[in-house]
Amino acid sequence: MDNDPASPLVIGVVGPCGSGKSTLIAGLEKHGYSCRHIAQEHSFAKHMWQVIAKPDILIYLECSYENSTHRRKLNWLPRDHEEQLRRLTHAREHANLIIDTNTLNQEGVLAQALTYLKS
C-alpha cells in the first residue's frame, strides 16, 4: 500500500473524541498521505464516513471513556462516550485498521498506521 503520488490514497480516520484523530492525521500528512478527519462520532448517519470522505482506507482509533475525558478535559458521563461508540459502530466494522490508542503514545499510533500503509 505504498503511497503513490500519481494516485494518492485517501486515508479516513475515525474514533471517539480524544482518540487522537487530529494527531494521527498530522503525522500521516507529514509522510505524504492524504487524510480526512471524519467526525462520524457526531453524526446519526452511520454511512456518513463513506458518503462524505470516501476513503480508500479507514483507520479506527479506539479510546476508553477514561482516556477520552482525560485527554480532552471533557465533562462527560459514560453514556456520552457510549453514544459516540454506538455512532461509530458501522465505521469500526468496516475499518481496515483498528488501533488501540489506550496503550500507545502518539508515536506508537503513527508507527502502527505507517506499518500498515506500507505493507
Residue-wise pLDDT tens digits, 36-64: 988 766 566 666 777 677 899 999 999 99
Q: What one-letter code names the amino acid at 44?
A: F
What sign has the CA pseudo-torsion 18, 22, 28, 34? positive
| The total number of structural domains that make up the chain | 1
The answer to whether position 23 is within a domain reads no
Predicted TM-score of the model (pTM): 0.87
The answer to whether position 5 is within a domain reads no
Mean of pLDDT values over 66-71: 88
Q: Are 45 and 38 in contact (CB under 8 A)?
A: no
The answer to whether position 78 is within a domain reads yes
pLDDT at 6 over 60: no
pLDDT tens for each residue of 79-115: 999 999 999 999 999 999 999 999 999 999 999 999 9
Distance CA 40, CA 84 (A): 8
The answer to whether position 107 is within a domain reads yes
The answer to whether position 77 is within a domain reads yes
The answer to whether position 94 is within a domain reads yes
pLDDT at 117 over 80: yes
The answer to whether position 6 is within a domain reads no
